[in-house]
Amino acid sequence: MSLLKHRAPKQQYYLEIGSYFIRKGTGYKVGDAFEYQGKKGSKQLRIANLYYNFKLNKITYKLDKNPILNRSEKK
């Protein structure tokens, strides 16, 4: 609703709608945990970010070892 209030361009509406459908269509959320079985044992990885790959026409993700909520940002 803030986009309407501030008279954002229609491209911004389309980006917001696309972002909404990517998040809802994956079935996963940023921060969800996965178990990874590697050569050295089991690790728990979390989704750090979701991307839509237009060339492959599929959703890809970036995994991270550290939980996002507990990460402290250094300045």
Residue 74 has pLDDT above 60, yes or no: no
Does residue 27 sit in helix, strand or coil? coil
Residue whose pair of structure tokens reads 């070892």 in the numeric block: 65
Inside any domain, residue 69: no
At 75 the pLDDT is: 42
Inside any domain, residue 38: yes
Residue 55's domain comprises: 2-64
Inside any domain, residue 43: yes
Give pLDDT tens digits for 2-43: 776 677 787 878 888 887 887 787 888 888 888 878 788 788
At 4 the pLDDT is: 65
Give pLDDT tens digits for 36-71: 787 887 888 888 888 877 788 888 888 887 766 555
If one counts the domains in the chain, the total is 1
Q: For the chain, what's the residue count?
A: 75
At 73 the pLDDT is: 47
Phi then psi for residue 27, to 5 deg, are: 85, -5
